Amino acid sequence: MGNYLSIVKILKPNLLFIAVSTFMLLAVLPLRANASLMVFQDQVIQVKLGETFTMPASIDPTGEKNYTVRLTLTFSAEVLEVVSFTFDKNWIALSQSGYDLIDNQAGELIKTAGFPAGFSQSVPFGTITFRAKQAGEDVMTVGIKSFILNAKSQSTLESRPQIVVNVTDNAQPQILPPIKPLPDLPVSEQPNLFDVQLGTSSTNLVTRIAPGEQLPIAVKLTNFGSQQRVDVTINYRVLDANNKAVLTGSETVAVETTASFIKLMQIPHDFSSGQYTVETSIAYPGQKVPATSSYQFSVERKFAGIFLSDLTFYGIILLLVGIIFAVISRLIMKKRRIGRFTPHEYPKIPARDRMFYEMISDIIMQMRYRVGDKAVDIANNVEGLIIEQDSGRVLEIKKAPAQIIALLISNYEKSLNQKISFAFGRHDQAIKGRKLIEDKNLVVVRKHKINN
């Protein structure tokens, strides 16, 4: 019996310790089961001066479904600078002030995004690209304002990891030990987070409208906080060029994750033409960060359903086209007139025959003034005369020139049924001076007329 009591005395403290330890472990395990982690690919990064390197970041929710992540990262602005940050394709970025920042002067990066369907397994968050701007060592740290929110807008972030970056200007990098992650500050419940955007990828913004028409505003609301239904009030304002509100409106919508719709604002008939800005802002319970979005549009009057500026533009285009057409037509007509009614020169024809070529050419040219291209057709029927159809240029005279002239004039008189006289200004003096029409040619001409 004494031995039994001695054994009980020895075992009681141990049993008490085991019971207390088991209770504490069971109490802690559920908390850790809901903890989430920010995971970086490397804890220690070696890089040469002037080079760039990427740092992928992932989120491990360790089983619990989460929806929104804010990553804040501090770094040495003297050693490193952020070149870019790229979200993974499944995230929707939150661009509000305080949730989206790259500050290479202060050495701070803030990126926030929502995962619409939620995630309960490890997912990539984004990739940060840095440039090493100075040799040295930097310890990048996940900031205390980072969070990973669940459906109740509670942060499940467990710890704040650190990354050591060694920038060297020599070929032998140092071997640095990894650094243990820092504990996160207690973050219980975060405020609701909403973002508002005007226009979506499938809806184009209307940038011009006439007085009396309805301005369609494509609105998209995104809930980055609680996944429960929240009533959000949307305020609309139309501002003129002096930033004065000339039109206002509001409505309340219930949002769980996202809400997209078209708001139609009636533009009054007395609206003045000019440049305006439509601005939207939202208000919701527990709001701490403002969310606004805006874009510019113009108001312009219409005539016959067409904007006045378009009418002016089209009128100018038509006027220019008309002027160009008139100039081109005039040039074409002038070119044709020059080709038809400019006296032809025959420098390659011997001097003793050149006069007859020019005289016949002038007769054809003068007849073209009177009867048009029919004069060329009549000349083509004169035996022994070969001319160019388009220009009326004499190519060859196969008979006595005087006979050709007599036949040509005779054919024209028959065709027009009247006597015709011609003026040969450039040949009169030459004919009188040189007596180039010989007696025998004159006899031929007289005989030809008598026979006809």
For the chain, the straight-line distance linking the first and the last C-alpha, in angstroms and rounded, comes to: 173
Q: Is 221 inside a domain boundary?
A: yes
Cα-to-chain-centroid distance, residue 209: 21
In a shared domain, residues 79 and 103: yes
**321: number of Cβ within 10 Å:** 10
User: 118-122, 188-192, 209-213 — which is least confidently predicted?
Assistant: 188-192
264 part of a folded domain? yes
More confident residue, 117 or 425: 117
Are 228 and 122 in the same domain?
no
Task: Give residue-wise pLDDT tens across range 154-185.
Answer: 888 877 888 889 898 875 556 656 666 666 65
Quickly state the pLDDT bin for 226 (edges 50, 70, 90): low
Query: Which among 269, 277, 198 has a CA at the least distance from the CA of 244?
Result: 277
Across the chain, how many H-helices and E-strands are there?
7, 26
* 291 neighbors 281 (Cβ within 8 angstroms): yes
The answer to whether residues 101 and 163 belong to one domain is yes
299-340 tens-digit pLDDT: 999 888 888 888 888 889 999 999 998 888 877 766 655 555
- Pick 354 or 28 by higher pLDDT: 354
Distance between CA atoms of 380 and 384, rounded to whole angstroms?
9
Looking at the predicted structure, is the pLDDT value of residue 223 above 60?
Answer: yes
Query: CB under 8 Å to 102, separation ≥6 — which residues?
Result: 82, 85, 109
- 27: in domain: no
Geometric angle at alpha carbon 191, from 188 and 194, rounded to 5°? 140
**pLDDT grade for 429, boundaries at 50, 70 and 90:** very low
**Residue 294 and residue 311 in one domain:** no
17 is a domain residue = no
Q: What values do phi and psi take at 144, rounded to 5?
A: -75, -15
**44-48 and 162-168 strand pairing:** parallel
How high is the mean pLDDT of the chain?
77
Domain-located, residue 32: no
Domain count of the fold of the chain:
4
Copy the structure tokens of residue 352.
């003793």
- List the beta bridge partners of residue 115: none
Distance set, CA 271 to CA 65, 158, 218, 304, 305 (Å): 51, 56, 22, 18, 17
CATH number at residue 230: 2.60.40.10
Is 178 a member of any domain?
yes
For residue 142, give the CATH number of its domain. Answer: 2.60.40.680
Last residue of one domain, picked from the residues 183, 210, 227: 183
Within this chain, do residues 76 and 177 fall inside the same structural domain, yes or no?
A: yes
Query: What H or E segment, with its residue span, contains residue 221?
Result: strand 214-223
Tokens at residue 177, please? 């030990």
pLDDT above 70: residue 400? yes
Position 221 scores a pLDDT of 78
What mean pLDDT do residues 68-76 have?
91
**Exposed, middle or buried: residue 389 (CB in 10 Å: 0-12, 13-18, 19+)?**
exposed
For residues 359 and 405, is the Cβ–Cβ distance under 8 A?
yes
Of the candidates 357, 338, 347, 367, which has an alpha carbon nearest to the alpha carbon of residue 395? 357
* Residues 204, 131 share a domain: no
Rounded CA separation 333/323 (Å): 15
pLDDT of 177: 61
Flag whether pLDDT at 9 surpasses 60: no
Model-level pTM? 0.50
How confident is the model over 27-37, as a mean pLDDT?
Answer: 56
The residue among 157, 75, 70, 68 whose CA lies nearest residue 118 is 68
In terms of domains, do 218 and 242 share one? yes
Look at residue 175 in the predicted model and tell me its pLDDT. Answer: 60
Give the pLDDT confidence score for residue 186 in this predicted structure: 58
- Indicate whether 60 and 113 sit together in one domain: yes
Query: Is 4 a residue whose pLDDT tops 60?
Result: no
Q: Residue 423: its pLDDT value, please? A: 60
State which residues form the domain around 175. 37-183
Identify whether residues 206 and 278 lie together within a single domain: yes
Task: Let me know whether 249 and 200 are in one domain.
Answer: yes
Percent of the chain with pLDDT over 90: 17
Mean pLDDT in residue range 231-251: 89
Q: Which pLDDT value is given to residue 75? A: 93
Domain end position, chosen among 183, 214, 238? 183
Let me know if residue 114 belongs to a domain.
yes
**Does 15 fall in a domain?**
no
The b/e string for 203-223 (b: 16+ C-beta within 10 A; e otherwise) is eeebeebbeebebebbbbbbb
Is 277 found in the same domain as 218? yes
- Are 333 and 248 contained in the same domain? no
